[in-house]
Amino acid sequence: MQQDKQPEYRPVVFRDRSAGYAFLTRSTATSDTTIEWDDGNTYPVIDVEISSESHPFYTGKARTVDTEGRIAKFERRYGEQG
């Protein structure tokens, strides 16, 4: 592999504005916007729409489906018609 063709891998802050959550990680993503992090350094910031803090699956706020209730309702409505 040629070293001069690889993208720069550096610290980047990913920020979920809907949840008010941000985390620092390493990435090849680029951004012109910067943010001052808790350690006093300035890093590029990438705004994302969904993160683990706002996604319903990870936060536990997903709607659970009551499949047993639906089957019972179906059987009450359409069962034993004869």
Q: Which two tokens stand for residue 69?
A: 């209730």
Q: Which two tokens stand for residue 19?
A: 């949840």
CB 52 within 8 A of CB 23: no
pTM of structure: 0.61
| CB hemisphere CA count around 4 (13 angstroms) | 0
Q: Which two tokens stand for residue 50?
A: 């969904």
Nearest to 11 by CA among 43, 51, 38: 43
Confidence of residue 66 (pLDDT cuts 50, 70, 90): low
Q: Which two tokens stand for residue 27?
A: 């990435």
1-42 pLDDT, tens digit per residue, is: 566 788 889 999 999 888 888 999 999 999 999 999 999 999
